């Protein structure tokens, strides 16, 4: 089993990043789905992508990871997040079966067109007025994926 810590949209809030890291010292991977509004060194060991508010930093727009039996697309998703079908199509175009994305500030774990789509919500504030949160994603040995929402 592999454990992934996934967060997004902390919008410059260093405290939430530090809290997530202190609560998750032994993950196999740390991914950030954009809008950190911080330098890479400020969010390390998180690997991040560019969010719509990260214009002053040099993050890539998307990244692809092959982990276990999965091919994962990591992006902020602000060009696609208001259409689950567009998100799924973009993920399929990249020959991925899992999407990690942010931007909406709403936690989501759903499957659309065969694509597992996971949004950790915002570690700063959620637009659905729920608690700030992030996700722990477990890639199980049988190929299944288990997702936990962790409220801050």
How does pLDDT run across 20-34, given as a tens digit for each residue? 999 999 999 999 999
Percent of the chain's residues with pLDDT above 70: 99
pLDDT in tens, 55-82: 999 999 999 999 999 999 999 999 886 7
Q: Using omega within 30 degrees of 0 as the cis cutoff, is the peptide bond preceding 45 cis?
A: yes
In this predicted structure, what is the pLDDT of residue 82? 76
Give the CA radius of gyration of the chain.
Answer: 14
> Would the pLDDT of 145 be above 80?
yes
In this predicted structure, what is the pLDDT of residue 79? 84
Ordered structural domains, the chain, with CATH: 2-151 (3.60.21.10)
Half-sphere exposure of 88 (CA within 13 A, CB side): 11
Averaged over 89-106, what is the pLDDT?
A: 97
> Would the pLDDT of 19 be above 80?
yes
């Amino acid at each position: 089993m592999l454990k992934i810590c996934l967060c997004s949209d902390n919008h410059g809030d260093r405290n939430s990043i530090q809290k997530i890291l202190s609560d998750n010292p032994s993950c196999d991977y740390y991914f950030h789905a954009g809008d950190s509004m911080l330098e890479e060194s400020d969010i390390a060991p998180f690997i991040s992508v560019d969010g719509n508010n990260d214009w002053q930093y040099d993050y890539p727009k998307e990244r692809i990871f092959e982990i276990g039996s999965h091919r994962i697309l990591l992006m902020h998703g602000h060009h696609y997040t208001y259409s689950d079908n567009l998100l799924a199509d973009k993920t399929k175009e990249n020959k991925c079966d899992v999407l990690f994305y942010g931007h909406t500030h709403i936690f989501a774990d759903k499957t659309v067109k065969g694509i597992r789509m996971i949004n950790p919500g915002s570690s700063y504030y959620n637009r659905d007025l729920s608690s700030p949160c992030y996700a722990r994603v477990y890639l199980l040995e049988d190929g299944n994926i288990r997702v936990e929402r962790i409220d801050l």
